């Protein structure tokens, strides 16, 4: 996200630099518009070059490491804890499942 912000900032800065340069140096309206467009495109190209060099010199190994094993073990622990809590607070969950299944069956029968 920060890369897009940098590109946008440099492009907008190029627009205003081109606008100021064109106001001071030209007297024709068409030259003013052309100069502003050229400056903006130049700054946009510079921003893309700058960002490409920045990304190329990043350490990709650090940016793309994902701790999959650690997250999986942590999630497994959380699931086990949730199962224990469910058993503690809902010892009759099988009865609830039967009730829910009956309700679903009755709803399906009423829709036929």
Token reading at 68 = 């999959």
Residue with tokens 């700058």: 50
pLDDT at residue number 47: 93
**Given 63, 82, 99, which residue is the final one in a domain?**
63
pLDDT digits 0-9 by tens, 79-90: 999 888 877 776
| Pair 28, 58 in one domain | yes
pLDDT at residue number 27: 85
Residues 6+ apart with CB under 8 A from 13: 43
| Pair 52, 17 in one domain | yes
| Pair 59, 83 in one domain | no
Structural domain boundaries enclosing 50: 2-63
Distance CA 23, CA 28 (A): 9
| Pair 74, 97 in one domain | yes
Confidence of residue 40 (pLDDT cuts 50, 70, 90): very high
pLDDT, mean of residues 65-73: 84
Whether residue 33 has pLDDT greater than 90: yes
| Pair 44, 85 in one domain | no
């Amino acid at each position: 996200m920060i890369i897009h912000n940098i590109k946008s900032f440099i492009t907008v800065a190029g627009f205003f630099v081109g606008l100021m340069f064109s106001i001071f140096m030209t007297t024709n309206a068409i030259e003013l518009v052309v100069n502003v467009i050229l400056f903006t495109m130049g700054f946009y190209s510079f921003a893309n070059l700058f960002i490409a060099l920045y990304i190329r010199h990043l350490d990709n190994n650090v940016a793309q490491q994902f701790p999959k094993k650690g997250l999986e073990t942590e999630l497994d622990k959380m699931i086990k804890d949730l199962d224990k809590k469910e058993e503690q607070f809902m010892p009759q969950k099988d009865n609830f499942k039967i009730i829910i299944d009956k309700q679903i069956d009755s709803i399906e029968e009423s829709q036929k």
